[in-house]
């Protein structure tokens, strides 16, 4: 591909037609576009960081199979050019006060709005949930509804009437979004050249193939690589950082692939968190809690596992799981692929083994043999959408009651996510017993000197991390039947 390709406007489907935008800075958020330029003020700003859900919109795109998929995302952290070739649906698309859709009508009937400011966001989340379940011919239970709306904060109602509305909307005669015109428009947009958007001297590239992405990355090694925008959005909204040129990975089909490769999972770097965690939890059921608690559904629909890993935050929940599973990271520069154990990718606080021009292509996750058992824990102030004080994924390979191998990966305990070498050494070769778990807990004090911050004190972090070894024993030792914890997401899960 020619990296000096001609630029063109962003083209997307909105309010029943294809909209072209050529005059706005590429870091204009979808929310700013809606409220300040499109006159659609139904979508609200509550926090501008993807934590409250007041700005929830539905984004539509054609999948690899040509089918239109719809999912709810936070408009406040998405940049306008990422809409290119996609559809944007907001509360204004649902029919107005006189023609409420089932979600809207149920919210009115159940007294689900008080101040009403968060309500359009709930409407969009419930509508996305309604669409997905109607398409699948299923109906969510109350727990699934609570999980679905966990990215939408309401300060007035206490949620009971909103959950009631979520149940009641399925009682009404089905009334679905009309997908045909959206799909038709997106099909037509699919013929567009890959987007190169230029504004005030900076470019936004949205390549559509892996070689093009690699070429661009080499040509613009200083450009900001943008995936789900759930963190980069905050660099702009909150820190006023200048991104310079941007290369967006979200339109590269090969990068979004998740596939089975022998006894391993290949997770493309731009696969969404939702899809990637579904695959991981499918392979290791004990990871289901981390999946449901890894950010909110709108963030999981936009964010990517590759982005979480590449970001390299010591408090990201992706790395502990992947390191405990023994995953490799696959890096690419031009045509060259480099593969290394993920645990070696992190060098020091926010320092990674990543060369200029190189980017994360995929994660290669070996599927554990039946000898492996895992215990996974996220300790935070809130069940949903919270950053971990401590995240731990503890893996054991047992053979005849003896620990043959251990991978204890911790987040939140050091400047990087890393394995607890002393704790692992304390159990490997030992019969697996409560005493061995205690030895690992004691040894952990040599592995980590955590920090105190607004999430937890250093003392608590170490204490709770040590206590997790008791849980590991209770979940994997003699007579263990089920995970030990208080969350409904653990129900029906085995270690």
Interactions with another protein, residue window 62-91 (CB under 8 A): 89-91
Q: Applying CB under 8 A, does 218 fall inside the site for another protein? A: no
Q: Applying CB under 8 A, does 275 fall inside the site for another protein? A: no
Q: Scanning the structure block, which residue is given the tokens 């290394």?
A: 340
CA distance 56 to 450: 36
Of the pair 62, 329, the CB lying nearest another protein is at 62
Q: Applying CB under 8 A, does 386 fall inside the site for another protein? A: yes
| 231: its two tokens | 């963190």
CA distance 424 to 409: 10
Distance of closest approach, residue 196 Cβ to another protein, in angstroms: 24
Q: Applying CB under 8 A, does 336 fall inside the site for another protein? A: no
Count CB atoms within 10 A of the CB of residue 462.
20
122-161 binders of another protein (CB under 8 A)? 123, 145-147, 149-161
Report the residue from 20, 63, 66, 108 that binds another protein according to the rule CB under 8 A: 108
Of the pair 296, 343, the CB lying nearest another protein is at 296
Q: How many residues bind another protein (CB under 8 A)?
A: 103
Distance of closest approach, residue 272 Cβ to another protein, in angstroms: 20
Q: Applying CB under 8 A, does 61 fall inside the site for another protein? A: no
Q: Applying CB under 8 A, does 117 fall inside the site for another protein? A: yes
Per-position x/- string for 226-255, each x denoting binding to another protein as judged by CB under 8 A, each - no binding = ------------x-x---------------
Report the residue from 131, 289, 328, 384 that binds another protein according to the rule CB under 8 A: 384
Report the residue from 20, 66, 99, 415 that binds another protein according to the rule CB under 8 A: 99
Which strand (E) or helix (H) includes residue 404? strand 402-411
Q: Are 270 and 248 in contact (CB under 8 A)?
A: no
For residue 304, give the nearest of 275, 332, 331 by alpha carbon.
Answer: 275
Report the residue from 109, 245, 405, 442 that binds another protein according to the rule CB under 8 A: 109
For residue 63, give the nearest of 257, 280, 305, 306 by alpha carbon.
Answer: 257
Q: Are 396 and 402 in contact (CB under 8 A)?
A: no
Three-class SS state of 184? helix
Report the residue from 385, 410, 436, 444 that binds another protein according to the rule CB under 8 A: 385
CA distances from 157 to 110, 112, 116, 125, 154 (A): 11, 7, 10, 17, 7
Q: Are 419 and 344 in contact (CB under 8 A)?
A: no
Decide: residue 48, CB within 10 A, 0-12 exposed, 13-18 middle, 19+ buried: buried
Report the residue from 24, 33, 43, 78 that binds another protein according to the rule CB under 8 A: 43
Distance of closest approach, residue 275 Cβ to another protein, in angstroms: 22
Alpha helix (H) ranges present in 16-158? 30-32, 102-109, 119-136, 142-148
338-367 binders of another protein (CB under 8 A)? none
Between strands 246-248 and 224-226, the pairing is parallel
CA distance 460 to 389: 9
Q: Applying CB under 8 A, does 299 fall inside the site for another protein? A: no
Report the residue from 6, 23, 222, 382 that binds another protein according to the rule CB under 8 A: 382
Q: Applying CB under 8 A, does 440 fall inside the site for another protein? A: no
DSSP 334-387: TTEEEEEEHHHHEEETTEES--TT-EEEEEEEEPPPTTEEEEEEEE-SSSSS--
**Only segment of 283-291, 302-310, 419-427, 450-458 that touches another protein (CB under 8 A):** 450-458
Q: Applying CB under 8 A, does 416 fall inside the site for another protein? A: no
> 116 Cβ partners below 8 Å, 6+ apart?
none
Distance of closest approach, residue 33 Cβ to another protein, in angstroms: 13
> 286 Cβ partners below 8 Å, 6+ apart?
374, 375, 376, 475, 483, 493, 494, 495
**Only segment of 4-12, 314-322, 341-349, 486-494 that touches another protein (CB under 8 A):** 486-494
Report the residue from 63, 95, 401, 429 that binds another protein according to the rule CB under 8 A: 95
Report the residue from 10, 48, 206, 223 that binds another protein according to the rule CB under 8 A: 48
For residue 309, give the nearest of 357, 341, 264 by alpha carbon.
Answer: 341
Q: Are 431 and 400 in contact (CB under 8 A)?
A: no
Q: Applying CB under 8 A, does 383 fall inside the site for another protein? A: yes
Report the residue from 199, 301, 377, 418 that binds another protein according to the rule CB under 8 A: 377
Of the pair 174, 191, the CB lying nearest another protein is at 174
Report the residue from 170, 273, 455, 462 that binds another protein according to the rule CB under 8 A: 455
Distance of closest approach, residue 340 Cβ to another protein, in angstroms: 31
Distance of closest approach, residue 130 Cβ to another protein, in angstroms: 12
Of the pair 118, 271, the CB lying nearest another protein is at 118
Per-position x/- string for 171-210, each x denoting binding to another protein as judged by CB under 8 A, each - no binding = -xxxxxxx--x-----------------------------
């Amino acid at each position: 591909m020619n990296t000096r390709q001609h630029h063109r406007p962003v083209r997307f489907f909105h309010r029943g037609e294809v909209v072209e935008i050529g005059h706005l800075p590429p870091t204009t958020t979808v929310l700013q576009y809606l409220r300040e330029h499109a006159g659609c003020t139904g979508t609200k700003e509550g926090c501008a960081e993807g934590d409250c859900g007041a700005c929830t919109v539905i984004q539509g795109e054609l999948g690899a199979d040509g089918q239109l998929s719809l999912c709810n995302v936070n408009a406040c952290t998405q940049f306008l050019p990422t809409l290119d070739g996609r559809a944007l649906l907001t509360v204004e698309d649902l029919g107005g006060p006189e023609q409420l859709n089932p979600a809207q009508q149920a919210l009115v009937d159940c007294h689900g709005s008080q101040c009403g400011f968060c309500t359009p966001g709930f409407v969009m989340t419930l509508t996305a949930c309604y669409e997905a379940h109607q398409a699948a011919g299923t109906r969510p239970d109350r727990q699934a509804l609570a999980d679905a709306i966990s990215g939408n904060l309401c300060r007035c109602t206490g949620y009971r009437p909103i959950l009631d509305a979520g149940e009641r909307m399925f009682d009404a005669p089905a009334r679905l979004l009309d997908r045909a015109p959206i799909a038709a428009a997106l099909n037509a947009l699919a013929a567009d050249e890959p987007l190169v958007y230029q504004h005030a001297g900076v470019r936004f590239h949205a390549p559509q193939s892996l070689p093009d992405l690699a070429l661009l990355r080499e040509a613009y090694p200083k450009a900001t690589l943008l995936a789900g925008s759930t963190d980069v959005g905050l660099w702009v909204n909150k820190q006023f950082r200048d991104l310079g040129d941007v290369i967006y990975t979200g339109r590269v089909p090969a990068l979004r692939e998740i596939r089975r490769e022998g006894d391993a999972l290949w997770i493309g770097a731009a696969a969404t968190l939702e899809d990637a965690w579904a695959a991981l939890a499918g392979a290791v059921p004990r990871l289901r809690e981390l999946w449901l608690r890894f950010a909110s559904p709108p963030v999981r629909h936009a964010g990517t596992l590759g982005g979480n890993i590449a970001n390299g935050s010591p408090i990201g929940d992706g790395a502990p799981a992947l390191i405990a599973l023994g995953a490799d990271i696959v890096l690419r520069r031009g045509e060259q692929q480099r593969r290394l154990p993920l645990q070696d990718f992190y060098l020091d606080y926010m320092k990674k083994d990543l060369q200029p021009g190189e980017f994360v292509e995929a994660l290669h996750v070996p599927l554990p043999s039946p000898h492996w058992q895992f215990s996974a824990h996220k300790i935070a102030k809130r069940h949903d959408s919270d950053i971990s004080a401590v995240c731990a994924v503890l893996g054991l390979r047992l053979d005849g009651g003896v620990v043959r191998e251990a991978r204890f990966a911790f987040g939140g305990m050091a400047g990087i996510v890393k394995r607890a070498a002393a704790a692992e050494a304390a159990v490997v070769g030992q019969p697996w017993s409560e005493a061995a778990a205690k030895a690992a807990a004691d040894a952990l004090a040599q592995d980590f000197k955590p920090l105190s911050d607004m999430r937890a004190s250093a003392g608590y972090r170490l204490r709770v991390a040590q206590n997790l070894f008791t849980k590991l024993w209770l979940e994997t030792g003699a007579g263990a039947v089920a995970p030990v914890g208080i969350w409904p997401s653990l129900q029906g899960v085995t270690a």
